Amino acid sequence: MAEHILPKRTYYTIFLILAFCTYLTWQVAYFDLGPFNTIAALAIAVFKATLVVLFFMHVRYSTRLTWAVVIGSVFWLGILLVLTMSDYLSRGWIPQS
Amino acid sequence: MSPEAVHTYSPALAHQFDDAGQQKEAATLGMWVFLVTEVLFFGGLFVTYLVYRNWYPGAFTAASHEMIVWAGTTNTFVLITSSLTMALAVHAAQLGNRRLLMTFLIITMALGCVFLGIKAFEYYSEYVEHHVPGMGFQFEAEHFQHAQLFFSLYFMMTGLHALHMIIGLGIMSVMLWWSYRGVITPEYTNPIEISGLYWHFVDIVWIFLFPLLYLIGRHVHG
pLDDT tens digits, A33-68: 888 888 999 999 999 999 999 999 999 999 999 999
pLDDT in 10s for each residue of chain B, 222 residues: 455 555 555 668 888 898 888 999 999 999 999 999 999 999 999 999 999 999 999 999 999 999 999 999 999 999 999 999 999 999 999 999 999 999 999 999 999 999 999 999 999 999 999 999 988 899 999 999 999 999 999 999 999 999 999 999 999 999 999 999 999 999 899 999 999 999 999 999 999 999 999 998 787 754
Helices in B56-68 by DSSP H: which ranges? Answer: 57-64
B98 within domain boundaries: yes
Report whether pLDDT(A15) > 70. yes
- A59 contacts: CB under 8 Å, gap ≥ 6: A53, A66, A67, A70
- A97 contacts: CB under 8 Å, gap ≥ 6: none
B5 within domain boundaries: no
DSSP track, A37-86 = HHHHHHHHHHHHHHHIIIIIT-GGGS-HHHHHHHHHHHHHHHHHHHHHHH
**Could you give the CA distance from residue B72 to residue B122 in angstroms, rounded to a whole number?**
9
**Could you give the CA distance from residue B199 to residue B75 in angstroms, rounded to a whole number?**
15
B222 within domain boundaries: no
Whole-Å CA distances, B33 to B29, B164, B165, B198: 6, 17, 19, 11
Up-side HSE of residue B95: CA atoms within 13 Å toward CB? Answer: 14
B14 within domain boundaries: no
B221 within domain boundaries: no
B3 within domain boundaries: no
Helices (H) and strands (E) in chain B, counts: 7, 0
The answer to whether B30 and B195 have CB atoms below 8 angstroms apart is no
State the pLDDT at residue A1.
Answer: 39
Helix/strand/coil for A56: helix
Give the CATH number of the domain where residue B183 resides: 1.20.120.80
Taking CB atoms and an 8 Å limit, are B217 and A37 in contact across chains? yes
Using a CB-CB cut-off of 8 Å, the residues of chain B touching A29 are: 211, 215, 218-219
Distance from CA of B135 to the nearest CA of A (A): 31
State the pLDDT at residue A34.
Answer: 82
Looking at residue A78, what DSSP letter applies? H
B13 within domain boundaries: no
Using a CB-CB cut-off of 8 Å, the residues of chain A touching B212 are: 41-42
- pLDDT category of residue A96 using cuts at 50, 70 and 90: confident
- As a whole number of Å, the end-to-end CA separation of chain A is 65
- Cβ-nearest to A76 among B40, B197, B219: B40
Q: How many CB pairs under 8 A join A and B?
A: 135
Whole-Å CA distances, B201 to A36, B33, B83, B107, B113: 26, 12, 9, 18, 17
**Could you give the CA distance from residue B73 to residue B75 in angstroms, rounded to a whole number?**
5
Residue B57 belongs to domain spanning: 19-215
The total domain count for chain B is 1
Taking CB atoms and an 8 Å limit, are A48 and B69 in contact across chains? no
Helix/strand/coil for B193: helix
CA-based nearest residue in chain A for residue B195: A57
Burial class (CB in 10 A: 0-12, 13-18, 19+), B147: buried
B190 within domain boundaries: yes
- Cβ-nearest to B222 among A8, A30, A63: A30
